[in-house]
């Protein structure tokens, strides 16, 4: 009976870890386009969930041509690829520009301007790495 309960418990734990992992992958994908939703932390959390819940899915995520290098660069160097940083800067500026244009109140415009300045300063101070997407380091 105890073994049966333990088996059910393990199945539920794996299901929960895999579900949270996929949710984090989805949020990470959305974060590619929404700069206030960070991609890398969600991918790292997804990786941690998959390593514990499904090593097969973790392997897929680590070998993924888009997500693998992001995870590798952050885990190995605590750095962001230069191309990802460039794209992120463009999306940050565009999305904040649209938001600043849309909001009606001047205090909201000032708040958003301050937020984008702080975000850009923080983000651009992160170390950069060269791409490793086609490197053997990623295997």
Residue range 6-29, pLDDT digits in tens = 888 899 999 999 999 999 999 988
Confidence of residue 138 (pLDDT cuts 50, 70, 90): very low
Residues comprising the chain, all counted = 139
**Tens-digit pLDDT profile for residues 80-107:** 888 888 888 888 888 889 999 999 999 9
Place of tokens 């230069």: 82
> Closest Cα partner for 25 from 54, 74, 65, 67?
67
pLDDT of residue 106: 96
Which range (45-49, 119-123, 133-137) has the least confidence?
133-137
Average pLDDT over residues 58-76: 89
pLDDT of residue 1: 64
pTM of the model: 0.63
Phi–psi pair at 128, nearest 5 degrees: -110, 150
Q: Cα Rg for the chain, rounded, in angstroms?
A: 19
Q: Is the pLDDT of residue 139 over 50?
A: no
CB 18 within 8 A of CB 47: no
Alpha-carbon distance of 21 to 58, in angstroms, equals 9
CB 26 within 8 A of CB 33: no
pLDDT of residue 83: 82
What average pLDDT does the chain have?
86
pLDDT of residue 73: 86
Alpha-carbon distance of 44 to 27, in angstroms, equals 12
pLDDT of residue 88: 80
- What angle separates helix 39-53 from helix 2-33, to the nearest 10 degrees? 160
């Amino acid at each position: 009976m105890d073994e049966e309960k333990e088996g059910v418990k393990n199945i539920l734990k794996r299901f929960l870890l895999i579900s949270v992992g996929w949710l984090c992958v989805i949020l990470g994908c959305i974060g590619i386009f929404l700069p206030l939703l960070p991609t890398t932390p969600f991918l790292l959390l997804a990786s941690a969930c998959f390593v514990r819940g499904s090593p097969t899915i973790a392997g897929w995520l680590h070998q993924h041509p888009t997500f693998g290098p992001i995870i590798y660069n952050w885990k190995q160097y605590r750095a962001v690829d230069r191309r990802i940083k460039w794209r992120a800067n463009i999306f940050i500026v565009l999305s904040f520009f649209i938001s600043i244009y849309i909001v009606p109140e001047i205090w909201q415009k000032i708040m958003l301007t301050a937020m984008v300045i702080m975000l850009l300063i923080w983000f651009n101070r992160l170390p950069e790495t060269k791409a490793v997407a086609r490197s053997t380091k990623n295997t």
